[in-house]
Structure 1
């Protein structure tokens, strides 16, 4: 009985921790035609890749909050330019996040959902694609069901779970006959286990390698645990691979030239260089 009680208690705190971290943006309090929104203290920018996307609150009752019709969402109706390959991103540079799910109304330029099209969902971090999947079927074709919106669930997208992958940009791209998109009820999780690109760069810059012009040794001063250090010549050939005694590195046998240093730490990889004199 005691073991069961402990299990329930742990489950309760785990569930509440998850709920505390996740958030759903339904855009109802956002400014009409804004190209950014704020949720759970995080600012997201709406980036128009193809066509012009922004917050749309001009047509009350045409969105979907996840449980009922609502009044605001992201779409590309503001400028009246819906075209093939329409695409937008939501991106933040101040935090990283994970996507749980969102609702999408995908249609042709007249907002007709009874056409054939595709939607590609891409997650990126620091410009590098972390995942990309194209949904080709299972789109809602009934206006009376969830107001015409389709649930895009990243816990099971084309049979894969992408909800635990950390990104700083979510990109949506339409294909086929889809030219118009409404994006609503965005459920996401703020991630604190990874540093943002800017924060990581700032922290790694605290690592010092000196002197910049060395004759016999270079010294490494790092506030973070170092896992290994590698030294490369200008052609990219690895010459030294060190897995212990990181503070002082013997370089007296290297030729006079420029060298690159790669330091692997517990928070990330720091790159610098020195001159052998």
Structure 2
């Protein structure tokens, strides 16, 4: 296990991967079939992983990789039984990238002994690099970040997310719709904006006040959870309990806000 993190080496590698896609942004043909979509998605994963592995293997020669499969529900319920591994969402918001619209990032998480230890979220279009290390705070482009200090819900921006549900869960859409209605009734502005991890980093940076999502979507959350947590945000499930790996909902905000959602 590599105890010391060469932070700059990790950030430089993630930036290299993101900038590769920035150069190619809007160069693809927008897919019109599932076959085209998954073929382009596979190409994104392969190119991104090649850059990340080439850059990080010298620093972490014995650390294995677990690439994200958002449809692997069982795999999202608990960490792997390994002392250390990388978990990579090669492109969070890939659908936006393929559709030639903003809202895509490169996310990387280092898991140690079943806990979030280090994570990076890079937004190439904005040239913003968020990162956090367990117990060491959270940063954006080298500057510490912290959640919003707002106290008036009418001034707050709440966001909701909707994850892929495979197979479909009976009644889930209705439950999700009711939750969005509650958000609309409680907060001044409600929006839906991907990608997931970047929204959580925005909560940590005070740009978004509340993040809310129903359903199991662990892989999309992990990088942003560590950044938001280290910035000082509360990481809960929608019942108001402390979020734990395997929970099928997530509510993140400045302390004292998200916990009041169902009250």
TM-score by length of 2: 0.24
TM-score for the superposition, normalised by structure 1:
0.23
Relative to its length, the structure with more strand (as a share) is: 1
Between structures 1 and 2, the one with greater helix share: 2
Q: Which structure has the greater CA radius of gyration?
A: 1
